[in-house]
Chains A and B, each alone.
Chain A
């Protein structure tokens, strides 16, 4: 079985992991029109080559990021999401008085 290195738990069977989609910059949904929001939700690069993607180690619910080649299926690197996201992204709730809401 293919093995994947979890930054938290080390080398594990790939069946312990779940694929979580491409890493996208998340934009504030309240500042987008419907088309941009649709694109954010449904559309992806689906690139053939080296991509960044979210993975989760299911037994520990640990989410991390993998750099993987989608043509050769080689995982180049896995790392904690804190490398890309230094702080938690929070959006003000709708109706919170935000002028852009």
Chain B
């Protein structure tokens, strides 16, 4: 059998497929330049090409495809948010995720694991009940569950009543899921490239050309590009790139750290998160426990890992899963989260004409990858802001109409 497999692999009849077209020389003009070839940038390019027939697109990235926060997030997909704007937006994103593997003809390894958020206080139960009601009203599967149900969902969770923060109840979100984050960005990039989008890695936006309040070009390290429109999709560097276009944003960039243990056999199906002990844990399909928590305590544009955060994450994890006490941590890393004051993204129009913002993705960017691409593509193609993302426009801060999304981060709320 191994020999047969080897023969199959070496036969010329089944050549390996190239996902992406080789890099071409940069043209002097494109209809659209998308800055940032992460999940969102690729998703925007994909839907522009597929839904709107706009294929004269340069998808540029200062580093490489999906090498930023797309590769650094913990791949949680869910829609149990608290505000109507948030729930509607993420619900549509989860729905798109469900069909993505079929649409791409490419496995994004989508797994519907469900997500369990734990309540350790009466106040948390009250807010969960509120969230469950809002979610159900808007068509999201979300319900308050008791300790017995939690025991059935996660048999190895520490439900001891004499623990420091006993678990009282939970918010069960059956739509919660995970997917391979690299596969998501590769799938989108492949689909976009097949339709004629040009992917330009190692191409850094160094300046934005603006004439009479309208964007006309992008200066890069590989030459200048004239263009009709620019989309910035650079989570982790939104303020820095925005500044090139003279746009100030209400964003603070904090590192968010996560870590994984050595692999174990499958023992944990859902995502488990606890806002109270400030941690979330799930087991990947290859067996590693992914552990994440809150952001670092102060802003930083560096993705170093700290011992402090490892101690905090480890202590919190052991509250929930004492059996992991002997687990070895294999990797620890950080991504940069562009935090907004209301825990919601900043999407849509900017003060510069034809310069579109896909920013402020804090800790909620991965789960929004499909829907942000779809809605941003619609905006770029039609010039009209889709209703779904209207609440997230930058202008909201000037009108004091923040979205106040208290369900945004799994570990902090």
Contact = CB atoms under 8 A, between A and B. Distances in A.
A46 B253 contact: yes
A27 B301 CA distance: 28
Interface string B231-268: 00000010110000000111111000000000000000
Contact of B398 (A38, A44, A45): A38
B307 A48 contact: no
A1 B312 CA distance: 13
Contacts of A73: 300, 302, 304
Interface in B305-341: 306-308, 341
A42 B341 contact: yes
Contacts of A48: 237, 239-240, 301
Interface string B371-397: 000000000000000000000000001
B301 A45 contact: no
A85 interface: no
Contact of A43 (B237, B253, B397): B397
Given A15-B308, A18-B297, A35-B398, A47 B239 contact: yes
B299 interface: yes
The A interface, classified by DSSP as helix, strand, loop or mixed, is loop
B298 interface: yes
Interface of B: 237, 239-240, 248-253, 297-302, 304, 306-308, 341, 397-398, 400
Given A48-B240, A70-B300, 17 more contacts: A1-B307, A1-B308, A14-B297, A15-B297, A39-B398, A43-B248, A43-B250, A44-B239, A44-B248, A44-B251, A46-B240, A46-B249, A47-B240, A48-B301, A70-B301, A71-B302, A73-B304
21 contacts: A1-B307, A15-B297, A18-B297, A19-B297, A19-B299, A38-B397, A38-B398, A43-B248, A43-B249, A43-B250, A44-B239, A44-B248, A45-B239, A46-B239, A46-B249, A46-B253, A46-B299, A70-B301, A70-B302, A71-B302, A72-B302
